[in-house]
Structures are given as C-alpha cells and as structure tokens.
Chain A
Amino acid sequence: MKPIAFIFTLIFMVIALMGCGTSKVKQASCNGNDWQALGRQAALDAQSVRVFDQYIASCPSLKNEDKKLFIAGYRDGLKQFCSYENGYKIAVKDKSDPNVCPYELRAEFERGYKEGSAELMNQKYLKQKLKDQSEERRMRNIDQLDRDQNRSN
C-alpha cells in the first residue's frame, strides 16, 4: 500500500471509530437551549430518552425545569413518531425497531413495523427470486453455448 493511501485509510478508520463511540445526540451548549425542541427532536430521531443522561453528565448547571421541558418535548415527539407510517418506513428500510414507543403508543407503530417487515421480506424474496432466475438464465445460456460449441466442433 502506498503511504498516502495508508494515511487516508488511517484517518477514515479513526473517524469511523469516533462515530461508534458517540451517540447521535446533537451536541448543544448547556445554556440557552430550547430543551423542549431538543427533546422533541430526540424522539423524532428515534433516540432513547436516556440521551438526556448525557446532558446531565456534561451540564452541571442543568435545572430540573430543563429536564421537564426536555421530557415534555420528547413526549410530544413520540406522539408524532410512534405512528403506523413510521413503523412501516423504518422496517422497510431494514432498520431495527428502536423500541422507544411507550406502551400506549406502541400498538400502531408495531403494526406498521410488522407490515413493513413483511413487505421488506417480500421484496428480499422477490429480489432473490429475480437473482435466482437470472442466474438460472445465465446458466442456461452457458449450457446452450457449450452445446452449440460442441455441435460446431
């Protein structure tokens, strides 16, 4: 490997590893945040409410009121997030169930997720079938070519 390629590979790996170590929480400053909006966004991003623990850890000046706002926003965000449509979308994109929906909102989301998963499986099955058919066709063609060649010989 050339040295320049090695350096790029190294940088890429470091960045990738850093990505694994941090959560998806948007780092915001501790003061002047719209905690409600942050909470809401966390829910819409399918993050666990535990994401707030990171604010607690890094913001000593955090007030109880901030937490309440965050949770209120998060709760509102979940009401929007935990829908049939989002469950379906997430499943179809082959993403795992984020398990953030509270019990009373879970049923619709899970119904969507289940149907999305079924749809995904269907798509995968079709793709596989197409792939198999194409492979079969290719093999048939190769056989045909072989037979033609043998005949001409």
Chain B
Amino acid sequence: MDFYRNTFKLLVFYGLLFKAMFACAFLDEFELTLEQPTFILPQFTGPYREREASIAPEEYEMAEELRTLLESDDKNLVLNRLESYYDIELSPAMLTLKAQVYFSIKKFDQAEETYLAVLDRMPQLVRVHSDLGQLYLLKKDFKKAREYFANAVAFGANEAMIHGQLAYLNMQEFGPFSAITGYQQALALEPNNRSWQQGLLSALTRAEMFDAAEALVGELIEKNRNDSNLWLMKAAISMRANKTQHALASLEVAIHLGEGSQNNLRSAAQLHLQQGSYLRAIQLLKDSLELDGIGIATVNEYMFWLSELELWQQADDLLSHASSRLPLSSSDAKSQFHWHRAQTFSKLKQSEKAYQHFQTALDLNPNNGMALLDFARFQKAQDNIEQAELLFIRAEALDGSKKDAILGRAELYLSRKDFESALIQLRNAHLRYPELAALKENIEIVENIIRTQKLNR
C-alpha cells in the first residue's frame, strides 16, 4: 500500500506539474510558432556603432525600395534583389535583412549561413546573436541557441524575450538555479507576461524554493483570483511541498473556475481517493469520462485504482455511468469494458450478471487473456471446475496470460487434490519461468505428497 501511495503521489504531482508549469505553448512542447516577422530595416545612422548595424550610404535607395517590397509582403522579390549582390558587397545591416528574410520564409540553412557571415564581419551585433538564438531554437539545437542568447545578453541585449529564452534553455541544460535570474530579469521587463511568470515559478519549484514559489503564485493570484491556471500552479507547488490537503483545495478551486482537463480531474480524483472522499472522487472520474478522447485505457486505469482500494460499488457506479457514454469502437475495447463489468459484478457477488459479462467479453474478443483468467477464477469459485480448467487452458495459449494460467490451473488441480496433474503444471511453470523461486519448494511439497500417497496405498 505504501508503494501504491508513493507512486500515486508522484503521479499526481507530475500530472499537475505538467499541466501547470508547462501550460503555455512556449514552455509546453517548446513549439515556437513563427509569427509574421517584424522587419527592422536599419536606417543610415551616420557614425558606425559596434553593436548595431547601419546601412551604407550608397544602400539608402535600395533600402527604400526593399521597404516598399516588404510592406507589400513580397519577400521573394526582396530576396532576388539582395541575392543579386555578393554578400561582401552588402553592408552587415543589409546582410542581416537578407538573413531575416530567409528566416521568415523558413529557409533556415541559408538564414543560418547568412547570419554567421554577418557575425564573421561584425561579431558583436546583438540583434544577429538573438536572431541566431531564435533560429537554433527552431532547429531544436538548444545548445547553440543558448550560446547565442548568452552572447546577445553579454553584448548588452536587454529584451525580455532574450532573458526569458536564455533562462528556459539554462534550466534545461544547467538546472533551475541558472534560470531564476534570467526569468526574474524577463519578468522585470514584462511583469505581466505569463510565460515568464510560469517560467520563474517552474524554476523556483524545481529548485525546491517552495516558499518563494508560493509567495509568487500567491501574489499572482491576488491580482487575478479567477485564473484557474494560477490555482493549478499553486496546487502543483503544494503537492511538491507535500501539502496534499492544500494541493487538493487549490485544485478544487481551479476545477470550480472551469479547469476541466482530464489530467487534472483525474489528479483531483486521485487525491480524493487518497483522502477517503470517495463520493467526490467518483464524481470527478465520471466528469473526466465525459471528455472527448477518453478511451478504454482510461477506464482500465480508473478500475485499477478502485480495485486496489476494493471500491467495487463505486466501480460499478462508474462503469454504469460510462457504459452509455464511452465511444468504444473496437471489439477489443468493448471486450475489456465487459471484463471490468464482469469483474465488478463478481466481487459484488452478482454471479449471474458477472457470468453474462464474462461471456460477452469473450464473445467480443476470444483472446482477451485477462477475461479468460478472471472468468476461470470465477468459474472455479462457482465450483465449475471443468469450465474453469477449459478457460485456463485457453488462457495458456496466450502470451500475456500464459504464466498466470499455468499457475491457475495448478492451483485448480491442487484444490481438487489432483496432485499428479498439479505437479505437471508446476514443473511446466518452473521450466518456463525459473525466476519464480517459490515454485521449486512447491514442487517438492507436491512430490512429497504424491510419494506419501503411493506409500499409503
């Protein structure tokens, strides 16, 4: 039970953490959506500055022409114009523009090459470092992305986006402590940016700075009490700090505010199960079964929890609720559902219903190994020994249920004192599964019994 509780706690925590900390697109799957790029067409600024690029005086006319083309979103024409020059003939600013156009039309390799050519000429161009950082993020080369964002910051970049992204990459590569300052700086520049708030919370939580994380999320909740996502974060932090009661309370507020993802409903249900509030747990599980995309795997999981706690009445309630709602398309899924129903009725001593559902489960999928095994045990309990034996034999033919079936049949023979047959089964099991240490001892016991019987005859 301890193992179950620990595993359960971890599952709840990671479930919550996943949803809460990685809720935004940026943090979630690290999927950057290319926005319409904003072209910063540099102006001729006279004196040359080290960290910024300006166009050469003779490019002024071309710059005006390109500006018009960019405004009409004619990037290919812009590229044609720029590609008519050797790169070395263009000022670093114009070359940067060329790289940006490549970037915007997703010609990432050319963009990379061109950006690097700019840096070869002007190694301290902040914008190019940050653009390259973005490019490598998209190419999922996180090491290089981090390197270029770090360069951008080192050369004086002070954009929230750069600090935030550097912080995220630092967290991936070096852990939370290297990310906290970056997120703080990003947040200082953009205090209302959700990504930086979540990033900082995530970093603080991972660094186990729970007080700071709780204080931050508390402050955010103060500003927006109806934000369910913030309550989820609070729940995740409480969970991490082993405050399950607080976690559940926050989670319930989030659900009350409209949070209804399957992950979170299920996490809340798990916490309620852990705390013995079964009614609410079952209601949450029922709610989660109403969601789209729920399949038999979810039912299997819920049934596993309920069977561990031997909550058969609640299991029956849940399955009855699910029976009309679950879109079970395959006969295998339907078979599994009937197996659960059969198992529940069996535990509730409703033998007739159990029998019917076992039959239906096997009609739908004759190779449902678990149904075969449980049906065999059910038949054995009903004293239908021959039926049980037949079902065990069928289960033995299936890889997933072979071991339990061999042992089940051995047990069946032992119960009817057919020691010879039991011995054959045990030896068979020992041959196939030598890792089962207790078998050897059992074989010896049965051999002794047989020997004694023979002597007594």
A interface list, Cβ under 8 A from B: 49-50, 52, 71, 74-75, 78, 102-104, 106-107
Contact = CB atoms under 8 A, between A and B. Distances in A.
Interface string B76-90: 000000000011110
B88 A103 contact: no
B88 to A, nearest CB: 5
Interface string B308-341: 0000000000000000000000000000000000
B427 to A, nearest CB: 71
Nearest to B57: A103
Interface residues of B, number: 12
Interface of B: 48, 55-56, 86-89, 91-92, 120-122
Contacts of A50: 86
Nearest to B59: A103
Taking each of A78, A104, A106, A107, which has the highest tally of chain B beta carbons within 10 Å of its own beta carbon? A104
Contact of A71 (B55, B87, B91): B87
A80 B383 CA distance: 98
Given A103-B91, A104-B92, A71 B86 contact: yes
Given A75-B120, A75-B121, A104 B48 contact: yes
Nearest to B93: A103
Contacts of A102: 88-89, 91-92, 121
Nearest to B87: A71
19 contacts: A49-B86, A49-B89, A52-B86, A71-B86, A71-B87, A74-B88, A75-B88, A75-B121, A102-B88, A102-B89, A102-B92, A103-B55, A103-B92, A104-B91, A104-B92, A104-B121, A104-B122, A106-B56, A107-B48
B121 A49 contact: no
Q: Main SS of chain A's interface residues?
A: helix
Contacts of B121: 75, 102, 104
A12 B192 CA distance: 80
Contacts of A78: 88
A102 B91 CA distance: 7
A92 to B, nearest CB: 25
A146 to B, nearest CB: 59
Nearest to A106: B56
A114 to B, nearest CB: 16
A13 B91 CA distance: 41
B195 to A, nearest CB: 35
A65 to B, nearest CB: 13
A107 B54 CA distance: 13
B88 A49 contact: yes
B348 to A, nearest CB: 76
Contacts of B122: 104
